Structure 1
C-alpha cells in the first residue's frame, strides 16, 4: 500500500513520483470517508442477455468474440508519437474512431507525485471530459438503451495512464456524473498465460469465487493496518504480518502451495514503482530484504493462485501500473496485475497511483464488508458502489477530505470478468 495508509486518495504526500508506499498521498489528507446510499447492482447474477453478432475488434483484445448486447468495449490506442484516438464497439451502437489528440497529462501517479491538489485534479478531469464530446455521447446512448445493465470494458493500449473511470458524462450540465460510479466498468489487456502458454480470453458469464482468504499485512509501517487485521480476522483468514519474522517470504511460499480453495488473496503493503519492471516491488519501504519484486514472483509458479483462480487485491501504491521492459523493448507491458492474471487469477484489483494509508485500509474493509452483505453483487459492481458513495458524499461544497476520498477511490481499478462474484468463506465452512 502506499506511504501513509490514510486511504484518502490524494493526500499531500508522495515524496517521489516513482517510489511509494501506501503511506504517500496527495496534497491534503487525513479524514475518513462517509458512506452514502448503496447503488443497484449493474449486472444481476441471473441476468440472461441475448448474444448476437460478432465484434471484430474483440479478437485483437482477446475478448470472447460474441459479447452480450449490454457490453461495450472502449478502445484507446496510440496514434503516432504522444497522440491517441478512441473508438468503441457495441452490438447496438458503435463509436467511430475519433480524430487523434495529444497525450494529456492526467496520470494520477504523476499528479500525486507532483502534489497536485485534489480539487485541481477534479477540474482537469472536468475539462478533459468536456472536450471528449463524441465519447460522452456514445456512452449516454448506451446508458439510455441498457440502463443499469450496461457494462463497459476499457481496453487502453497506451501508457498514458488516463483515469477513464473519472470521465464525466455531462461535466457542466450535471457535474459529478463519473462513469466509474454509474456504470459497471472493467479493464482488460492482452495477458499471456503461464498456465496455458497462450493469451487469456475475457469472457462474460455468471461466475463466483468461493473459498478462504490469505493475506499479507505490512502492519509495522502502515497506518490503518489494525482495521484490516480485525476485518480479516473475522474472516478467519490466514494472515502474515510484517511484525513476524520473514513474513513476506512465508506468504510467498504459501502462494506456491497446491491449495485450490482460496477465493481471495489480499496484499496490503508499500508499492515500489521505478524505471523498469525489474525494479517494481511489494513490501517494506525501508527494508529491501522484506520485499517481493516482480521477478521473484515470476520465478516460481503460484500454485494457489493457479488452482484456486480467485480474486487478488493488491492494496499497494501503483499496483495497477505497468511498464515495458527497457531491455527487450517489446510492447507487452508488465506489472503486478498482468502477473497475477497470467498466473490464473480470475480478477485483480490494483491502484493507479499512491494511496493514503488510512484511506486504503478503509477502502479494503468496505470492499470486504460489501462482499459479505451483498453477495449478489459482482466485484466490479462493488467497486462502482464504493466510488458512488464518494461521489454522493461530495455535496455542493466538498471539503478537502471528501475530494481526497473521491480521487483515491477512483484510483482502484479491476481487471477481469464483470460478472464474477466474490463469496468469502471462513475456514472450516
Structure 2
C-alpha cells in the first residue's frame, strides 16, 4: 500500500541525523567578485600611459566607449576580497564614473545574490570633447540589506583631453589666484640649477592647450640691458646681443620654446596673452626676444604682462586674471629738475584728465599715507626720467626710497595703476623674500594693483613721448588692455625701425637714432593683470558736473 503524505514525512525525518536541517537559500552563500573595465568596439582598453610615475589605461576626449560592470565567482584584481552572498539577499550595486569633477555615469541597480554570480551591465561612456587632460575615476559600491555601503573598488584611467589644466600648485607659486582663460599662458624663468652657469636659466610654460616642459639654457653671457648701458655698449650692439640670445633660444633644446610660442600664436591669433614670471635676476628683456621671421618680437606678437613669484617677496600678492579696469583721476609728480621741453609731451596729455598734481616728493609721499582715498584714483604718474631719475634711487634722498614705502599700511582695493616713468624703475633689484626693496614689489604690495616702469635708462624726450603715446591710446580706447597698449606702441617702434633700414643707406646717422628709439620703447614693461584696462576721468567731465 502506498504511503500517505504524513507517513512519507515521518520516514524522511527518521532517516536523518537529529541536528541536520534541509538546506535553505538563506544558509547558502557563494563567493562573488566584482569587476569594472572599459571597452571600445567590444575590446577591452589596454593602451597605457605613464603619468607622474603612475601607469594608466588611456582613453581620448571626444570618443564614446562602453563601461562594463561584472559580478562572478572568478577572482578580480579590481575587487581583491570576495563577498559571501546568500542567494536571495538583495543588494544594490552603485556605479560612478567621474572626470574633472563631472559625473559622466551614476547608476544604481538592485540584484539578488543569485543574479550577482552572473551580473553584467553595460553603460555608454561618452567623453566630452572639451574635457581637459585628467583622470577618469571608476567606482563601484555595494549595499547589502541594511549594512553600510561597501566600496568594492576604484579604478583610474587617463583621459587625453583637448587641453591641459594648469596645476593649482603652479598658479600658487606664480601667485595667480584665478583659473587662466584659454588664451592666457604663463612663461616661468628660474636660475639654472648649476651655479657654474652664472647667466644660465631654465624656462617652463603652461597653457590650457599645451604645456612647455622644463628647458635648461646654460647661457654664459650677460643679457641685462642696464648692464650693457653701464658698460657703454652701443645701441646697435645691444640689439645684436639680443639677436644672438634669440638665436640661441630658437635653436637650443630641439627648438621647443619657439615651437610652443608658434603654437600659441596659431591657436589664439590676435588675442594671445603671456604672463612672464621671471625670478632669474638676469633682467632679460623678454619683450625684445626675436621670433621666427623679420621684425617679429615677443612683445609685439604677444600681449605681455609680468608678475612676481611667491619666492621674491614676503607679502603674498595674488593676481586675478580677469576683465577689470583702473578707473578714476590721476595723481602726478613731474620732477622739477626736468626742463620744460623734456616733459612737454607728458604734460600735454596729463592736462586731458582730472589731475591732482604734487609739487615735490614730500607731498607725494604724504599723499600715499592718506588713509583709504586712492580708491577713486585710476593712475599714479611719476615723471622723473633722464638724469633726474637717479633721485628716486638715492638712499641719501631720505624722502621717497622704495624701502620706506614698506612702512605704509596696505591700501584697500580697488587700487590704481602706477606709471613710474623713471630710469630703472621696473628693475626688481635683489631677488629674495626679505631683500627686495624695488618700487615694483613695494608698490604692488602696498599701494597699487598694476605697475609700468623701465628696465634701464631712457632718454628724457623719448620717455615723455612714450608716456604721451600710452596715455593718449588709453584715452581713445579705454577698454583696451594695458598689455595691448604696450604691444601697440612696440609694434609701431618695430615698424619705424624697419622703415628706417629700408629707406636709408648704410652708416646713416639716423640708423643709430632709430635703434635708440626702438630699444627705449621696449624697455617699458608692465606688471599686473594682462586683461586690465585704464579708464581715466576726463577733465571736462568734472567741469560739466560743477555747472
TM-score of the aligned structures, taking structure 1 as reference length: 0.77
1:265 aligns with 2:380: yes
Q: Which residue of 1 aligns with 2:528?
A: 416
CA distance in 1 between partners of 2:386 and 2:309 (Å): 23
Q: Of 139, 146, 165, which aligns to 2:287?
A: 165
Q: 2:308 aligns with which of 189, 214, 220?
A: 189
| Equivalent residue in structure 2 for 1:232, among 350, 356, 367 | 350
Q: Which residue matches 1:311?
A: 417
1: CA distance, partners of 2:434 / 2:218: 21
CA distance in 1, matches of 2:330, 2:211: 41
1:27-66 matched pairs, under 5 angstroms = 53-55=165-167, 56-64=169-177, 66=179
Q: Relative to structure 1, is the Cα distance of residues 213 and 193 closer, same or farther in structure 2, using a 3 angstrom cutoff?
A: farther
> Per-residue deviation at 1:227?
2.8
In the TM superposition, residue 373 of structure 1 has moved relative to its aligned partner by: 0.5
Distance 1:127 1:226, change over 3 A: same
Indicate the RMSD between aligned Cα atoms, in angstroms. 2.8
Question: Per the alignment, in what secondary structure is the counterpart of residue 186 of structure 2?
Answer: strand
State the partner residue of 2:404. 296
Contact 1:271 1:281 (C-alpha < 8 Å) held by counterparts: no
Which of 170, 176, 181 is the matching residue for 2:295?
176
Unaligned 5+ residue runs, structure 2? 1-131, 133-162, 251-255, 502-510
Aligned partner of 2:185 in structure 1 is: 72
Query: Match for residue 201 of structure 2?
Result: 84
CA positional deviation for 1:333: 3.2
Task: State the partner residue of 1:374.
Answer: 477
Q: Which segments of 5 or more consecutive residues in structure 1 lack a partner in the other structure?
A: 1-49, 242-246, 275-279
Q: Distance in 2 between matches of 1:113 and 1:336?
A: 21
Moved more, 224-233 or 353-362: 224-233
Distance in 1 between residues matched to 2:221 and 2:480, nearest whole Å: 34
Instruction: Give the secondary-structure state (helix, strand or coil) at the position aligned to 1:169.
Output: coil
Counterparts of 1:198 and 1:123, CA distance in 2: 38
- Pairing of 1:131-280 with structure 2 (within 5 A): 131-133=248-250, 134-170=256-292, 174-190=293-309, 198-222=315-339, 223-241=341-359, 247-257=360-370, 258-259=372-373, 260-270=375-385
More strand by share: 2
Tell whether the 8 Å contact from 1:193 to 1:343 is kept in structure 2 after alignment. no
Q: Which has the larger radius of gyration?
A: 2
Distance 1:405 1:129 in 2: 20
* Conserved 8 A contact 1:73-1:152: yes
- Give 1:191 deviation, angstroms: 6.0
1:81-119 deviation per Cα after TM superposition (whole angstroms, max 9, x unaligned): 123111111111111111341253110111112221111
* More contact order relative to length (CA 8 Å, sep ≥ 6): 1
Q: Does residue 1:404 correspond to 2:519, yes or no?
A: no
Deviation of the 1:288 alpha carbon: 5.0
Distance 1:299 1:361, change over 3 A: same
1:425 aligns to 2:542 (yes or no): no
CA shift digits 1:266-324 (9 cap, x unpaired):
011158999xxxxx9618x8x95585112222223364xx4550100000001011223
SS in 2 for 1:321: coil
- Change in Cα spacing, 1:397 to 1:422, as seen in structure 2 (3 Å) is closer
Task: From the superposition, tell whether residues 66 and 151 of structure 1 become closer, same or farther in structure 2 (CA, over 3 Å).
Answer: same
Contact 2:337 2:388 in 1 (8 A): no
Which shifted more, 183-192 or 362-371?
A: 183-192
> For residue 277 of structure 1, what is the aligned residue in structure 2?
none
Aligned length: 358
- In the TM superposition, residue 413 of structure 1 has moved relative to its aligned partner by 0.5
Please name the residue that 1:26 is paired with: none
> Relative to structure 1, is the Cα distance of residues 215 and 397 closer, same or farther in structure 2, using a 3 angstrom cutoff?
closer
Query: SS at 1:220's partner residue?
Result: coil
Deviation at 1:54, TM superposition (A): 3.3
2:497 is paired with a residue whose SS is coil
Task: Identify if the C-alpha distance between structure 1 residues 313 and 404 changes in structure 2 by more than 3 Å, giving closer, same or farther.
Answer: same
Kindly state the Cα deviation for residue 72 of structure 1 after the two structures are TM-superposed: 1.3
Residue-by-residue CA offset, 1:144-193 (whole Å, 9 max, x unaligned): 111111111111111111111111112xxx22100101110011113699
> Following the alignment from structure 1 to structure 2, what is the Cα–Cα distance between the partners of residues 208 and 349?
15
